[in-house]
Amino acid sequence: MENAICNLELQVLTKIYSAKKATKKALAGVSFTLGPGLYGLLGPNGAGKSTMMNIITGNLDATSGKVLWNGKNVLRMGREFRRVLGYMPQQQNLYDSFTGRRFLLYIAALKEIPRSDAALQVQRVAELVHLSSELEKRLAAYSGGMKQRLLAAAALLGEPQILIMDEPTAGLDPKERVRLRQVLAQLAHDRIIIVATHVVSDVEHVASEILLLKEGQLVDQASPAALIEKYAPGGTLEDVYLTIFG
């Protein structure tokens, strides 16, 4: 994947939810372009983070605007885009009767990974998230943190060129949080990784850039150091967050 092109572009992305009594603009013309790297997506609840991620991954239609992957509209790419996409949702909708291995093999099948490669890929991603010794256990016996790591492993199947993760460290103990952070930082040199989180420290020291989303609008996009210099000189990224979002 060293020579693969990785370019994600959002063009004036808008999403309006209509109800009987009112309408809500969840995204209001968001535009940006990303190349290989790790990007932190920060903003309070209701800022539009989940809406944006669901549009990129094809789980939700935009009201207007486009998402382009290497210059191609992802809606027209269909399965071609899904093959290069890895997505880790925040919700843990798992089959308790499955073992960890069976779940990952099931996801590998959905991703159309050849059977001849699936077993090796499952072992590889399980090692990345420190779950190799737990794969034969049923998911009913998994802790919340183990389920979270399993979802991260599932997202990593297929060597995705773009990886979108919604609160990936939720429920992880400090040691596993650091471990996952390091894994993502290592993977980001040749792919695009977007991490939406409320744990500012998860992205402060590993993100190429931070995207700050407020009330459906992109209020800034820059490196953590540049944002600190601009909004909270001598402070931290958390101080930036508090300055912008209150």
Distance CA 206, CA 141 (A): 32
- β-pairing, 162-166 with 192-196? parallel
Q: What is the secondary structure of 136-183 as a DSSP string?
A: TSBGGG--HHHHHHHHHHHHHTT--SEEEEESTTTT--HHHHHHHHHH
Q: What pTM, to 2 d.p., does this model score?
A: 0.93
Query: Identity (one letter) of the amino acid at 107?
Result: I
Tens-digit pLDDT string for the chain (246 aa): 555 789 999 999 999 998 777 788 999 999 999 999 999 999 999 999 999 999 999 999 999 999 999 999 999 999 999 999 999 998 777 899 999 999 999 999 999 999 999 999 999 999 999 999 999 999 999 999 999 999 999 999 999 999 999 999 988 999 999 999 999 999 999 999 999 998 898 899 999 999 999 999 999 999 999 999 999 999 999 999 999 998
Residue 99 DSSP label? B
Percent of the chain whose pLDDT exceeds 90: 89
* Residue 160 in tokens: 């995705």
Nearest to 164 by CA among 66, 15, 34, 77: 34
For residues 204 and 222, give the distance between their C-alpha atoms in angstroms, rounded to a whole number: 12
